[in-house]
Each structure stands twice: as C-alpha cells, then as structure tokens.
Amino acid sequence: MKSPKSPYPPNDQVTPAETAVLLDLAAACLHLPGDWVELGCYKGDTSVLLGRLLQQHHPISPAPTNSTHSATTSTPAASAPAPHLWIYDSFAGLPEKSPQDLSGAGQHFQAGALTVTKHEVTTKLRRAGLKNTIVKKAWFSDLTPADLPDQIAFAFLDGDLYDSIKTSLRLVAPRLVPGARLVVHDYNNPELPGAARAVDEFLRTHPRTLTVRHSLAIMV
C-alpha cells in the first residue's frame, strides 16, 4: 500500500512524523522570550520549516550586528529584536566518531559524511523568504558562549555523534529560558548510539523530564 504523502518537503534525515512533532514543540515556544537554535543543519531542510514558523509569528526581525555571523536579515531596528533562528554546522560533514558512537550499525556515518556547503544552505533559506536566520559555520567544539544567543526558547540538537551532542548540550543548556523545549535527534537510533549516551549523561547532572517520541528526546 502506498504511504500517505508527507506534507513536508523531502528530508533524508528527519522523518515526517518527527518533523510534525518538532514543529509542534517549536510552536509551543513561540510565546517564550529567546531565540531558536539548530545545531547540525545539514541541507537546512528542517531549518526552513522552523524559520518559517518563527517568521510567521514574528515577522521582520533585525539582525544582531555581529560580523562573524552571516545573517539573512534586515537592518537593525530600534525596538527589541524579534527572535531569530541560529543555525550551526561544520559544513564539512561529521567529525570522527568517538568510542561511544561505535555500533554494529551506522557504518556510513563516517567523518566527512553529510557535507554540504554553507552557500547551499544560505541560498535555500533566502529562496524560502527567510529574513530571520543566522548561519554559523564552525565545529561545535570551537563555539564559545558568545556564538550563541543569550536566551534560547527552542533548541534542536542534531549532530548525530556523542561528542557533537555532548558539546551542543553544554553550550545550549545554560541559555534555556523557563519552559524552553530542548530536543535531541537520534535518541532511539541504533546506528547512532552516541546521541542517547550523551543525553543520558546530561540528564544525570541536569535532571529534567525526558519524553521520547519516535527518535526525538524531548526535555522541557
């Protein structure tokens, strides 16, 4: 039997069911103060959907004037800025795995896999009409707190590997506002066991409720 058509553009990393959950969670954060972040954007398919949702509710936003970021934004305004979606990726694909990532499955997730150019992603965001995104090319381990928004209302961590998720959690957690949704992909993915290991370790030192839907670990 043919599966029902997905309402979302094709995405080879996140399933339509996961996308629906992600967008619901993000929508629940629209009233919160703070920006949204996605660590690990790959081709920017989920970024477009998140950016659209945010822009529909918070149209025309000024860009933080930090020259190290490339922003698809309009000019600064005098009033408080509307929230932005901050997107991070190496744009050089995955880094090396660590021992926590090793499993019988997932051999194709090798260093350098999932490489796209930053230009490819910024072009996609621009064509989608987004003026509220900030794209940062960096290894997560090279990011400092200054590279992240001061307040985060919604975070999607999709770096696949143990170190990538662990580093993302370390960067993002201190900036989450009360009620923020923190979502980590691949929690239930036997090909990428490091993601769940990083989440479980994080929860030992940062106790909070964990809900798992599909392969999404959701923490509020």
Ligand X SMILES: C[S@@+](CC[C@H](N)C(=O)[O-])C[C@H]1O[C@@H](n2cnc3c(N)ncnc32)[C@H](O)[C@@H]1O
Local structure of 118: helix, strand or coil: helix
Q: Does 11 bind ligand X (CB under 6 A)?
A: yes
The H or E element containing residue 212 is: strand 210-213
Closest of 82, 80, 78, 79 to residue 60, by C-alpha? 82
Among 26, 37, 46, 82, binds ligand X (CB under 6 A): 46
Local structure of 180: helix, strand or coil: strand
- Shortest distance in whole angstroms from residue 186 CB to ligand X: 8
- Shortest distance in whole angstroms from residue 125 CB to ligand X: 13
Rounded to whole angstroms, what are the CA distances from 34 to 180, 181, 185? 9, 12, 21
In terms of CB distance, is 35 or 45 closer to ligand X? 45
Q: Which two tokens stand for residue 124?
A: 């996609």
Among 161, 180, 182, 184, binds ligand X (CB under 6 A): 161
Q: Does 90 bind ligand X (CB under 6 A)?
A: yes
Q: Which two tokens stand for residue 111?
A: 């260093």
In terms of CB distance, is 111 or 212 closer to ligand X? 111
Q: Does 45 bind ligand X (CB under 6 A)?
A: yes
Contact 2, 26 (CB under 8 A): no
Q: Does 130 bind ligand X (CB under 6 A)?
A: no
Among 29, 41, 171, 217, binds ligand X (CB under 6 A): 41
- Using N-to-C axis directions, what is the helix angle for 45-57 and 16-27, rounded to 10°? 30
Question: Which residues lie near ligand X (CB under 6 A)?
Answer: 11, 13-14, 38, 40-43, 45-46, 89-90, 93-95, 114, 139-140, 158-161, 164
